[in-house]
């Protein structure tokens, strides 16, 4: 009986540690801009522009309110990247 209680206690402790580790990995990482030649429209540059744009959108997504406004801190943690209209999807 005591062994079962100790095993259950150990299981609960390990689950709490796992949840704390999981929360730490979900922190928001800022978008670090990579130098890109903005005037170039070749395939590699366009891929980099789209990647940078999508990372920016992912960074801002937790800060969107239901009514379309942004929560405080969005522009302190994320860099706004314009839609690369010159590059086809």
Asked if the structure places residue 62 within a domain, the reply is yes
End-to-end Cα distance, the chain? 63
Residue 16 domain-assigned (yes or no) = no
> Which one-letter DSSP state was computed for residue 72?
T
**64 beta partners:** 70
Does residue 2 have a pLDDT over 80? no
What confidence score (pLDDT) does residue 16 get? 61
Q: How sure is the predictor about 69, in pLDDT bands with cuts at 50, 70 and 90?
A: very high
pLDDT of residue 89: 79
Residue 54 placed within a domain: yes
Domain ranges, residue 65: 39-89
Give domain status of residue 69, yes or no: yes
Within a domain: residue 3?
A: no
Domains contained in the chain, number: 1
Tokens standing for residue 56: 């920016």
CB 72 within 8 Å of CB 78: no
**pLDDT the model gives residue 37:** 80
For residue 25, the model assigns a pLDDT of 45
Q: What is the pLDDT of residues 3-22, one digit of tens each?
A: 777 677 776 667 664 444 44
Decide if 33 contacts 80 (C-beta within 8 A).
no
């Amino acid at each position: 009986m005591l062994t079962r209680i100790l095993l259950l206690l150990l299981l609960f402790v390990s689950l709490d540690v796992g949840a704390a580790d999981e929360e730490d990995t979900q922190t928001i990482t800022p978008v670090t801009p990579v130098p890109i030649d903005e005037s170039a429209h070749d395939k590699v540059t366009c891929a980099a522009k789209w990647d940078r744009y999508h990372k920016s959108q992912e960074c801002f997504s937790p800060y969107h309110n239901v009514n379309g406004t942004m929560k405080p801190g969005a522009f302190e943690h994320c860099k706004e990247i314009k839609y690369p209209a010159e590059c086809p999807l």
